[in-house]
Amino acid sequence: MIDFESALSSIRKKQDATIQEIVALLNASGSRQRVLFNTAYEKRNVLVGDKLFVRLCIEASNICGNSCLFCGITRKNKKLKRYKLSVGAIKNIIRIHATQDVDIIQLSSGEGNFYTMQDLSEIIKEAKKYCDNITIGIGHKNFSCYKKLFEDGATNYLAKFETSNAEEYKIMRPESALKERLEHLNYAKSIGYRVASGNIVGLPNQSLYDIANDLLLMKKLGLYMAESSVFCPTAGSEFENEKKGDLDLALNCIAISRLLNCAPLILASSSLAERIGDAFRAGANYISIHAAPEDVFYNYSIYGGSSRKRLTVGHIDKFRKLLVQKELNAGCVIKN
């Protein structure tokens, strides 16, 4: 059994860790958790400074052909009101919300081909007028599509693997396999995209060893953006009656992903909105703000549905102050 102190000392020195060391760190609570966060916070400042990176996320459509068990927009959720923003509406959102505060524009949608290649090209070219750094998180496409969108100006490819346990992956995401997910990420990387991925903390049947493996996979992938979001049971999903994930465990994941140097950008996910100050304290430096209209945002219920907080441009100054705050900031800081 590895103790917390030796695990922390080892990860600090090597920027790497064994499964057992990561498990020891994942278990940190109380004063040990504060030491873990302090170490990750210092590491962030040394590695990437204290700039807050802001992503403008455009939830283009909640139509999805897949049936992932944790997700509220699964095709099996017959009660959800479906929407698809028109290309014109998306371009308008970009024009209005892509201010100088925005570092990255992200186009997100469920899995399917409801936007044509021409639509996607048009959106990316419009976004490119306002921001150099463009992420696509639109599910699996054929490889020629990734190439074309890269040529059009997309720079980052987002595909969360959610769990690195291949058997659990197949259960959680019946239409896909972990191997396939990783092939898409690796292909995107091979043609020049920076890649973004991560896990969900608190999935049913997930062990601490699974989470430790998730973190090692994030490191192995050589990510640009890493994300550990907390599982939130969502109405209409297969897991709607499951228990919410542990926020402290998700925050510990953020700290460990920083200490492993999994990615320069580590997201303080909106699933952690009630502890966002702590996410920054644990080494996160990246947030997502939402520009889509409110009714659209709440119907984009990937996890959490109506319990998700809608973070907007108006929160950015507060986040900037929180990012450099030395003290832990437990409690709710986002009210909307």
Which parts of this chain interact with ligand SF4 (CB under 6 A)?
64, 66, 68, 71, 73-74, 110-111, 139, 302
In the complex with ligand SF4, the residue whose CB is nearer, 33 or 66, is 66
In the complex with ligand SF4, the residue whose CB is nearer, 139 or 283, is 139
**Shortest Å, Cβ 39 to ligand SF4:** 33
Axis crossing angle, helix 208-221 with helix 247-259, rounded to the nearest 10? 40
Backbone angles phi, psi at 58, to 5 degrees: -110, 110
**Shortest Å, Cβ 205 to ligand SF4:** 17
**Shortest Å, Cβ 184 to ligand SF4:** 12
Cα–Cα distance for residue pair 107/90, rounded to 1 Å: 9
In the complex with ligand SF4, the residue whose CB is nearer, 111 or 152, is 111
Q: How many CB atoms lie within 10 A of CB 153?
A: 17
In the complex with ligand SF4, the residue whose CB is nearer, 36 or 73, is 73
Burial class (CB in 10 A: 0-12, 13-18, 19+), 326: exposed
**Shortest Å, Cβ 113 to ligand SF4:** 13
Q: DSSP strand E in the chain: where?
A: 53-61, 104-109, 134-137, 156-158, 194-201, 225-230, 265-266, 286-290
**Shortest Å, Cβ 280 to ligand SF4:** 26
**Shortest Å, Cβ 14 to ligand SF4:** 34
DSSP 8-state assignment for residue 269:
-
**Shortest Å, Cβ 302 to ligand SF4:** 5
In the complex with ligand SF4, the residue whose CB is nearer, 102 or 172, is 172
In the complex with ligand SF4, the residue whose CB is nearer, 139 or 264, is 139
In the complex with ligand SF4, the residue whose CB is nearer, 200 or 221, is 200
**Shortest Å, Cβ 73 to ligand SF4:** 5
Element (H, E) at 281: helix 276-281
Measuring CA to CA, how many Å separate 151 from each of 9, 116, 144, 229, 330? 44, 16, 11, 31, 44
**Shortest Å, Cβ 299 to ligand SF4:** 12
Cα–Cα distance for residue pair 105/123, rounded to 1 Å: 11
Q: Is 182:152 a contact under the CB 8 Å cutoff?
A: no
Cα–Cα distance for residue pair 336/155, rounded to 1 Å: 32
Q: What is the DSSP string of 31-77?
A: HHHHHHHHHHHHHHHHHHTTPPEEEEEEEEE---S---TT-TT-TT-
In the complex with ligand SF4, the residue whose CB is nearer, 111 or 168, is 111
Q: How many CB atoms lie within 10 A of CB 295?
A: 10
Unique residue bearing structure tokens 């991925």: 197
In the complex with ligand SF4, the residue whose CB is nearer, 71 or 182, is 71
